[in-house]
Structure 1
Amino acid sequence: MQPLTREETHVMFEKIAKYLGEDLQLLVDRPDGTCFRLHSKWVSYVSKKILTLATNISSDKLVSLGTCFRKFTGTHTFWLHITALDQLALYAKYKVWIKLRAEQSFLDGNHVLKSGLGRITENTSQYQGMVVCSMVGIPLGFRVAAKSTQDCRKVDPMAIMAFH
């Protein structure tokens, strides 16, 4: 396990900031000392306590550690992994809540339509990253807003509100 380079940290924080905004600082400066580490191109979010315990395991035998955020590709692009959803949902600035009948459609890979929209965070801009939650608050995924909050009020029920 090694710390991320400056370039890797910049690429990763740029992607996470689309969902957290200035609350990214809350994810980084945690009192338990949780930090990001790189292992075989996989970025993990791990506590300092577990990190010190993992030093007893050789790196070639270590499979995974902490919460996986994603793997860097060969071109150094960074795509978030679904395992990072619980951490992102805690600090997400923009959220959308979908109705019960729209949950399965969303989980099957479809867009979120206005007819399935329960609530949306105020002042969400178009193409803003946001966390999709069920009406009871369970995070289901993360998507990009197709319309701003103001536009959501004016469109027909079959308009796309969040891209898949």
Structure 2
Amino acid sequence: MRPLDETETTAVFEKLFKFTGNNLKNIVENPSLHKNKVYYVSESLVKRATNISRTQLVSIGTCIGRFTHGGSFHLTVQCLSSLASNAKHKVWLKPTSEMSFLYGNHVLKGGLGRITENIVPSDGVVVFPMSDVPLGSGIATTTKSEKDDQKTTTV
């Protein structure tokens, strides 16, 4: 396990900032990298783990994402609880569209129960059902319908 270099740190912080905004400082202080996976670990736990050799250490902390071979950063499901508590933009789904979202489909404006204000296209949002348990994350987009000439918000 090693600390992130500057380009890796920038990629991680840009992705997390998309979802949390200025609340980023509440989530990450000192991430570390292990086999292209980024872990969030407290400093006291890192100090205790120095007694274990690197070859014997499988993982430590919470995996918040990973780097692809192309160098882009993808968030994992394990970071969802941290994102949900510090999210800048949130979306709540109606019960009829929850399963559709969980199967990987887009959520149209009709499937939204509530939405935070001032969401701009390409903002990262955390998706909740009406019971306030985080389901996942997504990117807000806006499309214009040719038939209605109305904008539709999609997650």
Q: TM-score, normalised by structure 2?
A: 0.87
Q: Distance in 2 between matches of 1:74 and 1:92?
A: 28
Q: What letter matches 2:87 in structure 1?
A: A
Runs of at least 4 residues of structure 1 off by over 4 A?
Answer: none
Aligned counterpart, 2:61:
66
Partner of 1:81: 76
Displacement of 1:128 in angstroms is 1.0
The whole-number CA distance in structure 2 between the counterparts of 1:36 and 1:86 is: 16
Match of 1:101 in 2: 96
Call closer, same or farther: CA 1:127–1:46 in 2, change over 3 Å.
same
Would you say 1:132 and 2:127 are equivalent positions?
A: yes
> How many residues in Structure 1 have an aligned counterpart in Structure 2?
150
> Higher mean Cα deviation, 53-62 or 41-50?
53-62
Shift of 1:55: 1.8
Q: In structure 2, what is the equivalent of residue 142 of structure 1? A: 137
Separation in structure 1 between the aligned mates of residue 65 and residue 26 of structure 2, nearest angstrom: 19
Q: Distance in 2 between matches of 1:19 and 1:53?
A: 31
Is the 8 Å Cα contact of residues 111 and 160 (structure 1) preserved in structure 2?
Answer: no
Deviation per CA, 1:9-63: give whole Å up to 9, x if none: 011101111111121122235xxxxx31111221000112222222222222222
Q: 2:26 touches 2:86 (CA, 8 Å); kept in 1?
A: yes
CA displacement, residues 140-160 of structure 1 (integer Å, 9 cap, x when unaligned): 111011239xxxxx958xx55
Q: 1:103, 1:155 → 2: CA distance?
A: 24
Question: Which runs of 5 or more residues in structure 2 are unaligned?
Answer: 144-148
Per-residue CA deviation, residues 80-122 of structure 1 (Å, 9 max, x unaligned), is: 1111111111111001000122111110111112222110010
AA partner of residue 123 (structure 2): Q
Taking only the aligned residue pairs, the percentage that are identical comes to: 45
3-state SS, counterpart of residue 75 of structure 2: coil
Letter in 2 for 1:37: S
Which residue identity is paired with 1:24? L
Structure 1 gaps, min length 5? 30-34, 149-153
RMSD: 1.9
> Any conservation in 1 of the 2:28–2:40 contact (CA below 8 Å)?
no
**Distance in 1 between residues matched to 2:44 and 2:57, nearest whole Å:** 16
SS of aligned partner of 1:139: coil
Whether 1:21 and 2:21 are equivalent positions in the alignment is yes
User: Residue in 1 aligned with 2:154?
Assistant: 161
